[in-house]
Amino acid sequence: QVKMKKNKKIVGIIDYGMGNLQSLKNAFELLENRCIFLNDLDDLNNTNLCILPGVGAFPEGMKQLHKLRLINNLKNYSNKGGSLIGICLGMQLLFENGTEFEQTKGLGIIPGTIDRIPNQSLKNERLVLPHVGWNKIISIENNNFKWHEEIKNYNQYFVHSYAAKFSKEIEPHTICTTNYGGHEFCAIVRNKNTIGLQFHPERSGLDGINLLSNIIKTLLK
């Protein structure tokens, strides 16, 4: 059963033209938060928690954030300890670079590069892209999250062709990975009070809602 929050928090969902926001709004309101759509700095600073969603291509996502003059604002918001969650493309934009279509500079909140998922498994079998469907997220040992045990067997819903390959560089920021065709990718990353989710928790049933609930508790403790 989903545990509801007693005191409503203000959750700002960034509307920068990159995807359907209503399902995210529904999920956060189910957890008894008040949601607003925002696209400027004033609204950003009036939230308890900010969500950077996104469906689409990395270069277009950064272009839209630039158009709304949100790039430096988001970086400053995160650096000052603001609570920020990037989901799907929103998680990818947290990284330093993306290679989709062209080399594009990201927000640089998380170290590393977003690359295309290989189209062959480690057993040389063809992999279908995008990677669509349910996949287990695997907790990294000693990730210091108090809900480590609860999430280790969660299945979450993925839709993506690009990802952050798990590596030594990204390991200190990695909470969970996932595996597709033997290739290991970051599923949840964190830098201070910024968390990135490669999957769609709002489309992942009760496990996804409970995961969001735990993340909110962690960020807004």
Select which of 50, 100, 176, 202 is catalytic.
Answer: 202
- Please list, in sequence order, all residues whose beta carbon lies within 8 angstroms of the beta carbon of residue 71, skipping any fewer than 6 positions away: 62, 65, 107
Q: How far apart are CA 69 and CA 207, in angstroms?
A: 35
Task: Examine the residue annotation and report whether 88 is marked as an active-site residue of this protein.
Answer: yes
37-47 burial, b at 16+ Cβ within 10 Å, e below that, comes to ebbebebbeeb
The pair phi, psi for residue 156, each rounded to 5°, is -130, 160
Select which of 131, 160, 173, 200 is catalytic.
Answer: 200
Task: Examine the residue annotation and report whether 100 is marked as an active-site residue of this protein.
Answer: no
Select which of 35, 50, 88, 186 is catalytic.
Answer: 88
Task: Examine the residue annotation and report whether 176 is marked as an active-site residue of this protein.
Answer: no
Q: Is the dihedral of CA 102, 108, 109, 112 positive or negative?
A: positive
DSSP structural state of residue 132: E
Residues belonging to the active site: 88, 200, 202
